[in-house]
Structure formats: C-alpha cells, structure tokens
C-alpha cells in the first residue's frame, strides 16, 4: 500500500510540474506583449496570472477536488 501512495504522490507531482512549466511559459509570453497588445485581446496585466491558472489546474496544485 505504501508503494501505491508513493506512486500517486509522484504522479501528481510530475503532473503539477509539467502543468506549472506550461503555464509559466504562457505567462512569460503574455508578459512580453505591450499593454496595447494586451488591450487588443481584452486583457490587462492583472488578468494574466488569474486567467492562466484556471479552476481545473487548481486540482493539480492540490487546492481543489481530486480528478
């Protein structure tokens, strides 16, 4: 049973890291845009982090319900 717990924890950790890296890249790309470019797509700088980490991703971060 301990091996099962370790595999579950390790799987969640690996998924979190993969998701975090993908989202971090998206945040970097959006932050490279000018304020005018962001406004053209209907965003401002304060929206970036909130929009990138959507509700379904919070489950991978351990803050929501399990999958």
Its pTM stands at 0.58
Q: How far apart are CA 44 and CA 36, in angstroms?
A: 9
Q: How far apart are CA 6 and CA 28, in angstroms?
A: 32
Task: Give the phi and the psi of residue 61 in degrees, each rounded to 5.
Answer: -85, 0
Is the pLDDT reported for residue 5 higher than 50?
yes
Q: How far apart are CA 34 and CA 32, in angstroms?
A: 7
Nearest in space to 53 (alpha carbons), one of 63, 40, 38: 63
pLDDT tens for 32-56 read: 999 999 999 999 888 887 787 665 5
């Amino acid at each position: 049973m301990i091996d099962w717990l370790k595999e579950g924890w390790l799987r969640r950790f690996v998924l979190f890291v993969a998701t975090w890296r993908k989202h971090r890249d998206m945040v970097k790309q959006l932050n490279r845009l000018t304020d005018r470019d962001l406004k053209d797509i209907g965003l401002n700088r304060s929206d970036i982090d909130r929009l990138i980490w959507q509700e379904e991703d919070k489950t991978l971060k351990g803050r929501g319900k399990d999958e």
